[in-house]
Structure 1
Amino acid sequence: MAGPMNWDEYGETSRAAGNWAKQVFACFTTPAQSGPPPADLLARHKAYVASLETDGSLFLAGPLSDEEGSVMSGAGLVVLAARDMAHARSLAAADPMHEAGFRRFVIQAWRLNEGTPIPGLRLSRRSFDG
């Protein structure tokens, strides 16, 4: 049995097979402290996320439920449109929640092969420009 395929090689193979294979970065963020964040920290976090959306670095973001889909888990998913893993890590690390040690994060590269993205959809503004 062959070993794991190199990530960049997989991207080339996927594109050759007709997939888009667009690389983005899934940032899974979880609480590092209990309780809600201070209001000023939450405001700075929201402003930072909005700035990522404005500059084109944010693909999607939002909270995650528990495994049953019934309780706010405190975890979140932020999908970053970054140049590479180092850039994605620097964007995530600059989030005020992460800088303050209120949350921690793990990032994985993700290849977008299937689906129907919606151009013009701005979730934070609750608007659709399409």
Structure 2
Amino acid sequence: MPKWNDYKRMAKERGSLALELYIVNTVPAGPDADLPGTLPDHLAYQARMEQEGKLVFAGPVSDMSGETLEGEGMIIYRAPSLEEARNYAAEDPMHKKGVRTFTIRRWLINEGSFTLSVGLSTKQVDLT
């Protein structure tokens, strides 16, 4: 198995995007975690991170059946390093107050696509 930076270099050399982002998987710290009580601070933090260009995507994920929410979430950060992304996650009020715990990993985006539609007169944006 190649080392991360070796693989990233090889991906760039073959013409892949090789965009490095950071995936945070976040889970409630326990059944008594005060998720609703920390939600406003968490959302304000997420909004600030988005405005600063550090937050790419964030939101809840389903259980394995796809039918139920169990409190897990995913956050994707844009950061200059894994350590900096780890700091972003650690400063999230839910993590900082011990309401949630997280793991973080690097993610190298090589392929894919998305569509962005911007309605100028309607001021609507659609991302698919």
TM-score, normalising length: structure 1: 0.86
Task: Give SS of 2:83's match.
Answer: helix
Q: Report the identity percentage.
A: 34
Residue 18 of structure 2 is matched in structure 1 by: 21
Residue 50 of structure 1 is matched in structure 2 by: 47
Task: Give SS of 1:90's match.
Answer: helix
TM-score, normalising length: structure 2: 0.87
Residue 56 (structure 2) pairs with residue 59 (structure 1): yes
Q: Counterparts in 2 of 1:1-130, with a 5 A limit?
A: 4-35=1-32, 37=34, 39-118=36-115, 128=125
Return the offset for 1:18.
1.2
Report the number of matched residues. 122
Task: List structure 1 segments (4+ residues) > 3 angstroms apart after TM superposition.
Answer: 117-121
Q: Which moved more, 1:15-24 or 1:112-121?
A: 112-121
Q: 2:33·2:100 contact (CA, 8 Å) conserved in 1?
A: no
Q: 2:35·2:99 contact (CA, 8 Å) conserved in 1?
A: no
Root-mean-square deviation (CA, aligned residues, Å) is: 2.0
Unaligned runs of 5+ in 1: 122-126
| Cα distance in 2 for residues equivalent to 1:97 and 1:85 | 20
**Counterpart amino acid of 1:71?**
T
* CA gap 1:71/1:38 in 2 versus in 1, 3 angstroms: closer
* CA gap 1:120/1:99 in 2 versus in 1, 3 angstroms: farther
| Cα distance in 2 for residues equivalent to 1:119 and 1:37 | 36
Task: Give SS of 2:71's match.
Answer: strand
